[in-house]
Chains A and B, each alone.
Chain A
Amino acid sequence: MSQLWMPTPNGMSRRHFATHLAGSAAMASTALSFGGAIAANADELRKNRKSAILLWMGGGPSTIDLWDLKPGAATGGPFRPISSSGEAQISEHLPLVAQQMHHLSVVRSMSTREADHNRGRYYMHTGYVPNPNIEHPGYGSVVAHELFEQRPELQIPPFVSVGGASVGPGFLGMAWAPFSVSSNGRIRNLDMRLDDTRLMQRVAALDLIESNFVKRTRSGPAAAGSPAGEHQKVLRKTLDLMTSDQMKAFKVEQEPDEVKERYGTSGFGQGCLLARRLVEAGVPFIEVDLGGWDNHSGIFDILVDRKLPELDQAMSALVEDLAQRELLQDTAVIWMGEFGRTPRINQGAGRDHWARSWSVVAGGAGLKGGLAIGETSRDGTEVETEPYSSEDLMATVCKGLGISLDTTYTSKNGRPMKIAGGGKVIRELLA
């Protein structure tokens, strides 16, 4: 038997080394292919590189108390509107965000149909209603999939979900799944403490067992998409990430104290800061989750005491910071939850689920800031201008990111599916 092992040159990037592995036959060439470590010109690559940050408000935020206030109406609640740096008046409890509203637009005419958490979360993340026969990819997976090609230097997952689970990759496959991390950016089990050569040799043995199993359970070209084949792809991505210098993007703690304080010490604040770092590292899609908006009772106290201060500080810091670093023009920021909340205030001083008339906020990357788009009725129960959907919002964001709306996927069962569910662009929002 010939000697197949080659030592890895020390300090050399092992980018994609796993990708070149395909059973023991490839072992000889493996080490050699490491030689071409990518010496990318960072500035060149960064030019025109688009990203998106989704601020996901799990539970369904009360947009009538944040972005589309109804002072004087029975449904209006106790909050007063204040002027912002854009045309929208917003809640008095978002004073810092108010100063950034020239960067962001409020879309007040969202009208959707899914008022159950799971269905709403799925719909707002995919542009499709849940269907038992097909799993649609989340927007994060879609954007990552479309923008990944622009960044050959990216070694970390193209879709990172901070402090939440987001929605899965559906038929795009597990290789496009959100990489879930906690908001402090700490990643468990990253370090193997094993020298490179031995790690590679272990992986070669693993790869052989994997390939043998794929061959035994599935024949033909479909093998790669089978659960066994998907597993192989995820292992490769994992190896890329374990061996990448780019992982330092997750080290939020290395930021200067004043920056950390500007974003706030809350989980969401640190998550937003992490999102900015990931944008700088070239990650195309980041979702940052802030849960706890499902306020069926005692809503106004919860909003004033907890939710709005946390949101105000982190969201304003993120937008301001992105703008100051000249990243905002290439980074879409979207704020939304699965639905809004009932204009009617219930017996427990809460608001329940409401999808018929509510607001989202968006800006950055080819989207106009400073606008208030659409209108609801005096008590907030009806949209009075053209209603917009999840698909429409996503189509607009895609357009802003330079992703063609003619992009069509074919699901595993051969059904063609237009990107963003075939939504129509919200014209006013496009720059």
Chain B
Amino acid sequence: MRLFTACSIIVACCSLARTAPPDNPIQVSEINAIIEQQWRDYEIRPAPEADDSTWCRRVYLDVIGRIPSLDELTEFVRDRSADKRQRLIDRLLDDDRYAEEYAGHWATVWSNILIGRSGGQQRNSLTDHDGMMKYLRDSFAANKPYNQMVYELVTAEGTTKPGTEGFNGATNFLADKVNSEDGVLATSSTSRIFLGLQVQCTQCHNHPFNQWKQQRFWDFNAFFRQTRALRRYVSGTRDIAFAELVNEDFAGQARDPSDAMIFYELRNGLVKSAYPVFIDDTAIGVSGYVSDVNRREELGRLMMDSPYLDKMMVNRFWAHFLGHAFTKPVDDLGPHNVPSHPVLLDYLAGEVRKHSHDVKQLIRWIVLSRPYQLSARHTASNEVDDPSIGETPKFSHFYLRQMTAEQLYQSLVAASGATAAGSYERQEQERRKWLQQFVVAFGTDEGDEATTFNGSIPQALMLFNGDLTKEAISDRDGGFIKRVIADRKSSRDRVSHLFLAGLSRTPSRDELNIAAQLLAARGGDEVSMLQDMWWAIINSNEFILQH
């Protein structure tokens, strides 16, 4: 009867009026004050606070990348303390039992940003996906300051593949971006991802909507010109085993290493020269000799000091948790693109710098802030707050958004133990293979990609009929369904168990009714009924949407 106790506690807690929890960090009150002021300005009444079990599911998904288990949910809901939400976030961030999942989740999120889901998948790719993941896992596990991580990614030297001599996983960010076209891709990716400056259009001409001039692009590009990714082959073959990212003396296009300038061409055919100059006009030495000037290290140092780096960090983490950044797109902080909450963005950017770019601190501030406590209810009183129709976000209700493919995978694995047994490598391989089915490349040299895990039919088919679902609803001995049968005494309890495990809530009366009808239709075969119900739950909008 453990379950029923849990259910009744869930109901009881939801109806308890909790007093404002004490000791929120000051940053949380600042966020709240700015956000609430805007609600008043727009005469918006925010959605009510999300109940504990909804919030618990939300925070597990965002912080460690999967939904909570029934035990974890129960533990949280049973907690009667006023600061239970703080305690949960502390647990997810700092408790050893979540360290691996936390690091794995954020490594996945950042690997997708840095090299894309298809990074390292093509035969001739110089990127090693495992190497990228290893570096990121270690970084997030150690809670490495964000600006230090950026510095390491931008300046990395060494080999890409774990286990090789001189391995440095951080090299994988640039390994595929420096060799072709004079490092154009390294230039545009580094400035866009870490500084929020969209420069790809200015490569060929001065862009009318973008104050970045063509000169700026090539000035920035000059920082990467000492860098090469060298191919290392499997001995006796032409297959690339791994790559090594190195800095070499650069003679420049006038063939004078002591004055290593580069040339670029204007659209009218005029040729101009460029040297490494940072976005704030700081110039560095013009020598191309690495012993004189290590251009990427200079760039890394300048970036660490740039306020754009702080803003970009805040904007990205905010978007991760609240579903919309302060700008759209998240990685365009250019002057033409005014943020929805400029004061808040500046404030938080200042705070992350004061707090040594501590990732976990920033997560704490956001997760404890009022907008993150709100339910997803979108009603007449917050009708105007609808970013999906192009309104700037007011964060007056939680924006529904689909889980990522990675979150879905981890959640299904966690909820019903649907996974391949075996070593970490084997499981990681399985996961990667499964994820690849959704990746579609655009056929450009820039490696652009899209995902069909976007709420369209292929995704629906996968969840209807795919192997992962078959495994999740399997009636094999020791499988999830059989365990629910063994652990729970009544049919009703078993159905409740499914709803709590999948949706973090108990079933409604009509949902229990339909389960009873299903049981009758299955001729009283409870295993079959539970399979049907579990299938329906994991295929529902409520399961797939972060809410």
Contacts and interface: CB of A to CB of B under 8 A. Distances in A.
Given A164-B440, A291-B441, A352-B204, A198 B532 contact: yes
Contact of A290 (B443, B458, B547): B443
Contact of B442 (A58, A168, A208, A217): A58
Contacts of B542: 209-210, 212-213, 228
Interface string A387-421: 00000000000000000000000011100000000
B514 A296 contact: no
A412 B389 contact: yes
Contacts of A197: 521
A192 B390 contact: no
A240 to B, nearest CB: 10
Given A117-B444, A179-B456, A219-B380, A213 B541 contact: yes
Given A227-B541, A234-B455, A235-B460, A217 B378 contact: yes
B376 interface: yes
B456 A205 contact: no
Given A133-B328, A189-B465, A293 B443 contact: yes
B456 A210 contact: no
A174 B536 contact: no
B228 to A, nearest CB: 16
A145 interface: no
Interface in B486-524: 503, 508, 510-511, 513-518, 520-521
A228 B541 contact: yes
A293 B445 CA distance: 8
Interface string B408-439: 00000000000000000000000000000100
B450 to A, nearest CB: 4
A116 B201 contact: yes
Interface residues of B, number: 72
Contact of A230 (B204, B455, B511): B455
A294 B457 contact: no
B511 A208 contact: yes
Contacts of B460: 234-235, 238
Given A189-B461, A213-B542, A294-B445, A227 B400 contact: yes
B464 interface: yes
B441 to A, nearest CB: 7
A53 to B, nearest CB: 18
Nearest to A2: B517
B457 A238 contact: yes
Interface string B528-547: 00001101110111101101
A212 B181 contact: no
Interface in A205-241: 205-206, 208-210, 212-214, 216-220, 222, 226-228, 230-232, 234-235, 237-238, 241
Nearest to A346: B265
A342 B444 CA distance: 16
A289 interface: yes
Contacts of B389: 134, 171, 411-413
A208 B337 contact: no
Contacts of A60: 444
B500 to A, nearest CB: 14
A294 B456 contact: no
Contact of B390 (A219, A235, A238, A413): A413
B545 A228 contact: yes
A230 B50 CA distance: 23
A115 B204 contact: yes
B91 interface: no
Given A133-B328, A217-B377, A226-B378, A59 B444 contact: yes
5 contacts: A205-B533, A226-B400, A227-B401, A228-B542, A238-B464
- Report, nearest first, the 10 A-B pairs whose CB atoms are least far apart: A291-B443, A58-B443, A133-B390, A412-B389, A165-B450, A231-B541, A205-B536, A206-B536, A132-B328, A213-B542
Interface of B: 180-181, 200-201, 204-205, 269, 327-329, 332, 337, 376-380, 386, 388-391, 400-402, 437, 440-446, 448-450, 452, 454-458, 460-462, 464-466, 503, 508, 510-511, 513-518, 520-521, 532-533, 535-537, 539-542, 544-545, 547
Given A165-B440, A234-B457, 15 more contacts: A117-B442, A119-B201, A132-B327, A164-B440, A165-B449, A187-B458, A189-B464, A189-B466, A197-B521, A209-B537, A212-B508, A219-B378, A234-B460, A293-B443, A411-B390
